[in-house]
Amino acid sequence: MSEKRVLPQRKVIQPNYSLESQSGLGLIEILVTVLVIAIGILGVASTQVVSLQMNSQAQNRSQAVLLAEDILDRIRANPGNPAAYALATGSAQGADNGVCDTSFVPANASVTANDIAAWENSLACLLPAAERTIAVNGNTVTVTIDWDQDDQSPVVVRTQI
């Protein structure tokens, strides 16, 4: 005979997902998501600000190197008296008190004085408030350009003439 086995019936418990138990959960998830996204956007924005600052500092350093090479080229082009190009810090001979003059034309008698005046005007236009020194020791010329650059060392270019 065939016997039927009867399994005991289990009571299935249905979870209670009523609207009352869910109130506010979706809003909290959205607020957490917005907070995480906001923190991410602030991180990206701060990275961009730091990047722009570093880019500006790099541009200033490049300008300083180009200006140092410019005066060294002027000294090489006029090799008769390189010691005449020596400048101490604070002894302005070109631009008036470090003010940029875009229509500057040197009107000095000597090539050396014209070179220094034109170079100092370029320095005032490209790196305002920069301090410069040109030291000539025999045939070694050292050009130092320093400006407000957040505790970094000045640009120093040294060459043999």
Contact indicator for 106, 117 with CB cutoff of 8 Å: yes
Give the pLDDT of residue 147: 82
Strands in 155-160's sheet, in edge-to-edge order, are 131-137, 140-146, 155-160
User: Residue 17 pLDDT more than 80?
Assistant: no
Residues 17-21 have a mean pLDDT of 60
Diameter of the chain measured on Cα atoms: 132
Q: pLDDT tens digit string along 53-107?
A: 889 888 988 999 999 999 999 999 988 888 888 987 665 554 455 677 767 777 7
With tokens 């500006």, the residue in question is 56
Instruction: Give residue 146's pLDDT band: very low, low, confident or very high (50, 70, 90).
Output: confident
Residues 132-148 have a mean pLDDT of 89
